[in-house]
Every structure is written in structure tokens, then in C-alpha cells.
Structure 1
Amino acid sequence: MIKKINLLLSAIFILALSACKNDSKQSKKDTPINSLVEHKLDFQNKAHDLVYQMTQKVGDYSKLASKKDVVYTYTYETPDGKTDVITEKYIFNGELSYGAYKKHERTLANLDGLIEQGYDGDEFWIKHNGLPLNDPAALKKVAFNRPTNFYWFAMMQKLLDPGLQYEYLKEETINDTTYDVVKVSFNTNKPSDIYQLYINRETKLVDQFLFTVMDFGRTEPMLMIMEYEQVEGLLIPTKRKYKKSNWDAEVTQEPWILVNWTDITFNNGLTKALFKK
């Protein structure tokens, strides 16, 4: 039973981040990257200002985009011991995304050998041992995984995307650390997800956040806790864990789902050809 619940949580989390990404994204094909990162900010309120201060601490989207591209190893482990190990590659201009699944006990576990996924700005694709797969179910998962993994990596920066709304909720002290608690939501006519950020008053970093999955009727949040690492002038939340919670950031007794990013390198000279099928 626990295994089923944890696998469901994993699926929900992927859908949640994909939904959030879709809510906030702009048209990347025809929009120069400068228009995304050099817009003038008029702060809505104190909460918006706090999120801005956080992005200045970690490095805002213009600083991230100046790195051109990134390559890193993504390890995702569920409490039942199932693990995916993926080499992720992105070009920031256009949000192109590629993943090579060297270990895939959760993703297409029935297949042996290398699984590759890609998004070239127009098309999602998947290959098994170098050969294209045209299975609709597999392609649907790619359409979630590729933008979701990119959004996850750039999430702190993208919390300043146009179309977001900010609300200051409260000051809260947890384990002797004082937080400014900020609600971030999406300005849309359809049900959308909510982030409740816990911004460390001393460090200006988001130590943890709550999120919902409104598109799938999940109004109770999950809690994500993060640890940061400095890489080439950016602070990146490379260690993450998450599970069910409530709006007081209290968690269940269930085990954590673990995510780690390692071997992060920027400015690798990636070309668009890598992302083509």
C-alpha cells in the first residue's frame, strides 16, 4: 500500500510542476530571451519584493540564462528503493530539454538499455537504444518530464515570471529560524496551483515550500525541503526531499521521496542539434 501511495505522489508531483510550468510559460519560440529576463519590475506588494530579494540572492533568470546551457546528473529515489539516474541537458533560450536515462527503475522499467527524451522547442520525442519510440503513452510522459525537469531546475528564478500573484501571509518561527511566509499563485481563469514559500529572513533563501495540485483536485499540500550549493556564482537547491503535509508544514510519518542534482556544469557549448530527434 505504501509503495502505491509513494508512486502516486511521484506522479502527482510531476503533473503538478508541469501544470505550474504551463501556467507561467511564455511563447519561447518567437520571443527573444532578453524580453523574458530584462523586464522592469513594479512590485505588487511586500511579498513580491521578498521573492525578488530571494532571486537576487540565488541569481535571477538573467544570470541563469547568461550561462547559456547546463548539464547535470539527476537522481530520483522513491521510498521503495526505485531509482532513476538521468543526465539532464538544457539550453536556456527556448527552454530546450534533453534527458538520458542511464538507470530507469521508475521510468519505462520494462525496457533494458538507454532511454533518451528530448524537446527541441517544437517536438517531444523518446528513443530506446537509439531507436525512436512512437508509443503515445510514453510520449505523453515525455511531454510532462521534459518541461517539468527544466522548470524544477529554474524554479527559484521563474518565481518572478509574468502572470504571478503574491501575498504576504505571516511571520513564522520553525526550529529557531524566522521565516516570511509568502503565497504565490497564478493569474489564470482555470484552477491553478499554489506555492507557499518559507523565505529564511536571515539568508533570504526559500528553505522549504508547500504546493497544491489544483488541476487534479488535490487541495492539501505537499512539503518540499531543500539544501543549496553554490555553483559558478549561483545558489542551486541541489538536495531536495518531499512528502505529504498540511498548511502548517507538518508532515506525515511516510518516508521522503529524495532528489539530488550533482556534477552541475554551465556553458558546455550545447547546440540545438542535440535536442532534435
Structure 2
Amino acid sequence: MKSTLCLGLVCLVALSGCRNAQKEASKEKEDVTAVVAPNFQNKGHELVYKMVQKVGDYNKLLQKQDVVYTYTYQTPDGKTDFSTEKYLFDGELSYGLLKQHERTLPELDGTIEQGYDGAEYWIKHNGAELQDPAIVKRAVFSRATNFYWFAMMQKLLDPGIKYQYVGEKISNGIGYDVVKIDFESNDNKPKDTYQLYINQQTNLVDQFLFTVVDFGKIDPMLMKLEYENVEGILIPTKRKYKASNWDALETKDPWILVNWTNIKFNNQLTRAEFKK
């Protein structure tokens, strides 16, 4: 009887040890997978990859599932938009509720809703759907742009991006690696160009230049960023921008201010909430 009991204990310990070994091996395999870097196009691509690892890659956003936050946009003349933004990261679904929109469609009194449900963009005014092509185009731009700005750093590793290392530059006493970003076009339409200033000490993008080709702005705007750590992800929650040139000239013109506040992940949003 004692022999049988001892044998059982030995088997139990051995089985437990085997399971622990399997777990450790699996964990090591996951860890190895997590640190495997892609084949870099060039130095610029490698620098962007390192930056994304610093802020948190798109997989980390997917693990958060969704986000809800308050979006505030203010122009130099004081006109302000307040929007409650909701995004579902799987599929890049986007919704915005604007209760104050002094800049966006100010001629419409009352509440504006915009959405993208994964297949269709839509806009409503006081609950009624609007179908004017010019107004719908504004909704398409806002939904795509607002989502992109939020997830921009992560999406800079998307397929179809070309990277060019421009060189080093000193700005305000800080050393930067400058990387140009171009996007492949599947419809032969011109795409925006970005130029990132990656801080050599922090690996973060402190500022970048960008165009807005959809609205005819081919001369660059200069965007400056301040980050906040939200549940382990570094998010550029304070942003300001104005017209510049490709040397990132900072003029005396006033800034357009954009702030993201009350950021909350994992809100259990459903796809149905993005339908019109």
C-alpha cells in the first residue's frame, strides 16, 4: 500500500514537473516570437519599428479591444469642437458624437453623429441621416483621420509603407533621426507624406510634418506631441500644429490645439454600436 502511494506521489510530481516544463517552453517560445523583428527596408524602417515597440504596437491596442475618449479641437480664433470618440480596434470601426461643433459643420444646430461600421461611413444630424455628398465626405475624412491619429504610431508599421532615412537634425538642442514616410497608392491618387522626428534619447516622435492631400494641402503642417502613459501604452494626448515647411520651420503663427482626455480602454463596445 505504501509502495503504491509513493509511486502515485512520484508520478504526480513528475507530471506536475512536465506540465511546468511545457508551460516554460511555451512561454519562452512566445517571448522569442514577440521579439522577432521584421526584415527592415532600411535604417528608417528600423527606427520606426523601435519607436513602435517603445509606445506599444497594434497588438497591444487589439488586446485593449476598444477605446472611448473626449476629443477637443480648438482653432486660433477660439472655435472649438468637443467630440466623444469610440473606436473598435478590430476592423478600425469609428464613431464620433459632436455636441459642440463650432468648426465642423457649424451651420448645423444640434448634435452631429458620424460613424464607420467597417463597411459604410455615415453622418446624422439630430438623429436624421444626411446624404449630401459634401457632408458625407467630411464624415469620411473625420472618421478615418481621427482613428488614424489615435493609432498612428502603431499603424506606421502597416503594409504598403515606404521608409526613407533622411538624416540627423538638431532642433531646440535635441538630437533627432528624421524619417520620411510615403504610402503606396492602389488607385494612382496622390497620398500624404509624413516626416518623423524621432528623439535619439527617448525613441519617441516628438514632432512630425504631414500633408493633407485630400483637401489640397501639399505644403506641410508641423505637429508637436506630448505623451501620456495610459494602461501601459504611450499615447500623444496633447497635440498642436500649424503651417510649416520641409525644414520644420516653426513660425510665430498661432497653433491649432488638439487634446485627448478621459481615455478608457476595454469598454465592451459591440459592432452594433457603430451602425447608423
**TM-score with structure 1 length normalisation?**
0.82
Q: CA deviation at 1:220?
A: 2.6
Structure 2 equivalent of residue 31 of structure 1: none
Q: CA deviation at 1:66?
A: 1.1
Structure 1 equivalent of residue 228 of structure 2: 229
Structure 2 equivalent of residue 68 of structure 1: 65
CA offsets, 1:149-170, max 9 Å, x none?
1111100111111111111111
Structure 2 equivalent of residue 89 of structure 1: 86
Structure 1: 5+ residue stretches without partners: 1-36
Aligned equivalents of 2:271 and 2:114: distance in 1? 14
**One of 85, 100, 110 as aligned partner of 2:107:** 110
Q: CA deviation at 1:39?
A: 10
Aligned equivalents of 1:213 and 1:134: distance in 2? 24
Q: CA deviation at 1:216?
A: 5.8
Q: CA deviation at 1:215?
A: 5.7
The structure-2 alpha-carbon separation of the partners of 1:135 and 1:38, relative to structure 1 and needing over 3 Å to count, comes to farther
Structure 2 equivalent of residue 212 of structure 1: 211
CA offsets, 1:88-140, max 9 Å, x none?
00101111110000111112212222211111111111222222223332212
Aligned equivalents of 1:230 and 1:237: distance in 2? 9
Aligned equivalents of 2:215 and 2:275: distance in 1? 32
Structure 1 equivalent of residue 116 of structure 2: 119
Aligned equivalents of 1:92 and 1:218: distance in 2? 28
Secondary structure (helix, strand or coil) at the match of 1:66 reads helix
Aligned equivalents of 1:122 and 1:148: distance in 2? 16
Aligned equivalents of 2:213 and 2:127: distance in 1? 37
Q: CA deviation at 1:253?
A: 2.3
Q: CA deviation at 1:254?
A: 1.6
Is residue 2:181 matched to residue 1:181? no
Task: Choose 204-213 or 48-57, whichever is displaced more.
Answer: 204-213
1:104-183 paired onto structure 2 within 5 Å? 104-183=101-180
Aligned equivalents of 2:111 and 2:85: distance in 1? 13
Aligned equivalents of 1:177 and 1:110: distance in 2? 44
Task: Choose 128-137 or 225-234, whichever is displaced more.
Answer: 128-137
Which of structures 1 and 2 has the larger relative contact order (alpha carbons within 8 angstroms, sep 6+)? Answer: 1
Aligned equivalents of 1:40 and 1:238: distance in 2? 28
Task: Choose 125-134 or 258-267, whichever is displaced more.
Answer: 125-134
Structure 1 equivalent of residue 21 of structure 2: none
Preserved contact between residue 97 and residue 275 of structure 1 (Cα < 8 Å):
yes
What letter corresponds to residue 116 of structure 1 in structure 2? E
The structure-2 alpha-carbon separation of the partners of 1:39 and 1:151, relative to structure 1 and needing over 3 Å to count, comes to farther
Q: CA deviation at 1:38?
A: 12
CA offsets, 1:47-68, max 9 Å, x none?
1110000000000111111110
Identity %: 69
The structure-2 alpha-carbon separation of the partners of 1:196 and 1:130, relative to structure 1 and needing over 3 Å to count, comes to same
CA offsets, 1:161-188, max 9 Å, x none?
1111111111111122111111111233
Aligned equivalents of 2:130 and 2:254: distance in 1? 34
Structure 1 equivalent of residue 20 of structure 2: none
Structure 1 equivalent of residue 14 of structure 2: none
What letter corresponds to residue 147 of structure 2 in structure 1? F
**TM-score with structure 2 length normalisation?**
0.83
Aligned equivalents of 1:167 and 1:149: distance in 2? 25
What letter corresponds to residue 238 of structure 2 in structure 1? K
Structure 1 equivalent of residue 40 of structure 2: 43
* Root mean square deviation, CA, Å: 1.9
Structure 2: 5+ residue stretches without partners: 1-33
- The total of aligned residue pairs comes to 241
What letter corresponds to residue 242 of structure 1 in structure 2? Y
